[in-house]
């Protein structure tokens, strides 16, 4: 009914569980726990045909049908025994879909994970929530756009919840002489992966050198009892680096071990809790990061008179020109036309459908390793991230040019 995460494989439990199982077997620090195999989901939806239901009545109907199904007999008891073996305390319940974390598309952030889950009844409901997220509107659109399997299955990973002091994302090198890229911020990882904070950026060279860009980190996510709470970062910590050079080097070394165990460059989510570094997830890197262009021997041309030039982090390479469309939330989604430049405070996985039609993306906060930036790179959409006050400085419907390779946004103001 369930298997130890250490024994999980991709064919039986989905890509996320398979990768974490391989890392545990390789001796890497991964929070342990059980995995719910794909065939348990298949048994739960037998006769329901959620893929067909989603096509006929829409993804919401498929989600409701899955959530309304009882879990297979014996699953609750098996999970209760596994939770007791973990010693009690909160757990993280994470999706592990059959089409997730693949080399030809990460589905980054498209499926649901639930943190700070207490007790077997809440775990069972979180498992059902992960199953239903197979038919989240954004996930269904992502599969359709990429020609993916319309009938995927969902495994689930249940792990001890870590109350991280620091967390982030790391991209391991694509070549022996390439650097490791690390983004980090205070608190739990969703702040970084969902792009709701400007993280510190660390570039760790193959020679062990570390280049650091410290960000203004305004908020953090933490567990308080059974809830996740977003709170302000204390003023002295906002512009204080969250890891030192030695930590950055240790992360890079850990990333090399992850890449070796999984046979290729990896996008790694990590956390530091109680002084120990943990690996929470690893997936293949699906699209190359942009690199800042080398300085030209001749000065770059000055902007045209009246032009406004804003700079940020280069998140997805390429250049696009279109009308700025300021979007502050889902209520504004209907205003975005094909080719518009999406200008927003940040993007999260729920905004993925906009990336199907937008010509480019500009955000006020968020790192280049966040889920939205990954999807932008997969779609080949230029993106510039972390541009302060972009939604105020770029007027709606103003022509804008986005250079996602250089991290520059240019607009002409009348």
Highest mean pLDDT out of 129-138, 267-276, 284-293, 369-378: 267-276
Contacts of 181-185 with CB under 8 Å at 24 or more apart are: 181/289, 181/368, 181/369, 182/243, 182/248, 182/251, 182/252, 183/367, 183/368, 183/369, 183/370, 184/242, 184/243, 185/215, 185/217, 185/220, 185/242
- Check: CB of residue 370 under 8 Å from CB of residue 195: yes
Confidence (pLDDT) at 341: 96
CA 69, distance to chain mean position in Å, is: 29
pLDDT at 166: 98
Residues 6+ apart with CB under 8 A from 147: none
CB 194 within 8 A of CB 168: no
Residue 293 binned pLDDT confidence (cut-offs 50, 70, 90): very low
How much is the pLDDT for 104?
Answer: 59
- pLDDT attached to residue 146: 67
pLDDT digits (tens, 9 = 90+) for 131-148: 999 998 878 777 777 666
Q: What percent of the chain is helix, strand and coil (3-state, nearest 5)?
A: 30, 30, 40
Output the pTM of the full model. Answer: 0.89
Strand order across the beta sheet in which 210-213 lies: 210-213, 200-204, 180-186, 166-171, 266-273, 276-284
pLDDT grade, residue 102 (50/70/90)?
A: low
Q: Which residue has the higher pLDDT, 303 or 116?
A: 116
Model pLDDT, residue 109: 64
Residue 105: the pLDDT is 55
The answer to whether the beta carbons of residues 407 and 387 sit under 8 Å apart is no
Element housing 262 (H / E): helix 245-262
Catalytic residue annotation: 371
DSSP state of 207: T
Tens of pLDDT, residue by residue over 67-93, are 999 999 999 999 999 999 999 899 999
204-260 pLDDT, tens digit each: 999 999 999 999 999 999 999 989 999 999 999 999 999 999 999 999 999 999 999
* The token pair that represents 346 in the structure block: 């940040």
Tell me the C-alpha distance between 61 and 376, whole Å: 28
Question: Could you give the CA distance from residue 38 to residue 130 in angstroms, rounded to a whole number?
Answer: 12
Mention every residue, 6+ apart, whose C-beta is less than 8 A from residue 361.
315, 316, 341, 342, 344, 347, 355, 372, 376, 381, 382, 383, 384, 385, 402
């Amino acid at each position: 009914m369930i298997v130890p995460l250490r024994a999980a494989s991709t064919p039986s439990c989905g890509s996320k569980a398979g990768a974490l199982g391989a890392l545990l077997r390789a001796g890497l620090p991964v929070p342990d726990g059980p995995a719910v195999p794909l065939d348990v989901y298949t048994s739960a939806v037998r006769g329901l045909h959620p893929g067909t239901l989603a096509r006929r009545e829409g993804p919401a109907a498929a989600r409701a049908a899955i959530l309304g199904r009882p879990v297979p007999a014996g699953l609750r008891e098996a999970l209760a025994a596994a939770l007791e073996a973990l010693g009690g305390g909160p757990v993280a319940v994470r999706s592990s879909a059959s089409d997730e974390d693949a080399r030809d598309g990460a589905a980054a952030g498209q499926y649901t994970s639930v943190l700070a889950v207490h007790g077997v009844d809440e775990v069972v409901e979180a498992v059902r929530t992960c199953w239903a997220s197979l038919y989240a509107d954004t996930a269904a659109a992502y599969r359709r756009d990429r020609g993916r399997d319309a009938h995927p299955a969902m495994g689930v990973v249940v792990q001890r919840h870590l109350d991280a002091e620091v967390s982030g994302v790391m991209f391991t090198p694509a070549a022996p002489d390439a650097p490791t890229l690390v983004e980090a911020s205070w608190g739990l990882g969703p702040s970084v992966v969902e792009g709701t904070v400007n993280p510190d950026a660390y570039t760790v060279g193959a020679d062990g050198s570390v280049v650091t860009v410290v960000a203004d980190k305004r908020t953090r996510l933490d567990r308080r009892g059974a809830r996740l709470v977003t709170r302000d970062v204390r003023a002295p910590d906002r512009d204080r680096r969250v890891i030192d050079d030695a930590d950055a080097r240790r992360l890079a070394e850990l990333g090399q071990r992850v890449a070796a165990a999984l046979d290729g460059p990896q996008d790694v989510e990590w956390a530091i809790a109680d002084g120990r570094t943990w690996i929470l997830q690893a997936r293949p890197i699906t699209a190359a990061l942009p690199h800042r262009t080398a300085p030209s021997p001749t000065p770059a041309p000055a902007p045209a008179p009246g032009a406004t030039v804003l700079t940020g982090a280069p998140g997805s390479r390429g250049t696009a020109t279109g009308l700025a469309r300021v979007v502050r939330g889902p209520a504004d989604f209907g205003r975005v036309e094909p080719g518009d430049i999406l200008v927003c405070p940040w993007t999260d996985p729920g905004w993925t459908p906009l990336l199907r039609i937008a010509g480019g993306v500009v955000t006020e906060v968020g790192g280049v390793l966040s889920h939205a930036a990954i999807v932008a790179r997969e779609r080949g959409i230029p993106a510039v991230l972390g541009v302060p006050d972009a939604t105020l400085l770029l007027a709606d419907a103003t022509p804008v040019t986005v250079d996602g390779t250089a991290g520059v946004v240019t607009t002409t103001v009348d």
